[in-house]
Amino acid sequence: MDAAPDANDPACADVIVRLPQTVAELDKRTTNAQATGAWGDPAGVLLYCGIEPSGPTTQECVNVNGVDWIVDDSRAPLYRFEAYGRSPGLEVIVDSEKASGTAAVLDLGAVVKELPQVRQCTSVDDTFDLGPGA
């Protein structure tokens, strides 16, 4: 694994020391890069803290237990989940042939909340003031 550009951010250390031993029913393994995590052998879930956070996007964004995630399925069966609106940025790569992406973000949500939230997902409904009776 390679460390993300901002892996030395102290907030990433707060995340890494709290990583769970099991994610999506896969056991944690040792990684060789700062601010990373991996589960499974071979790895089915990879975590990188210190990525450049995405700005506003039209990609699918979902809230799971209070954490907003951008979901990128363009490389399926590898799915990329970015903890949207967190600084520094954090991403989780899930091989859907080895693990459930839903289970992974559920298992990692508590540690992601350690990162400061600077923006949130919005929907089209949030951009319109429909007023009374709409």
Question: Would you state the pLDDT for residue 87?
Answer: 95
Report the pLDDT value the prediction gives residue 127, as an integer from 0 to 100.
Answer: 47
Taking alpha carbons only, the member of 20, 19, 23, 22 closest to residue 104 is: 23
Residue 117: pLDDT over 90: yes
pLDDT digits (tens, 9 = 90+) for 55-103: 988 899 999 999 999 999 999 999 999 999 999 999 999 999 999 999 9
Burial class for 96, CB neighbours closer than 10 Å (0-12, 13-18, 19+): middle
* pLDDT of 126 above 60: no
How many CA atoms lie less than 13 Å away from 119 in the CB half-sphere?
16
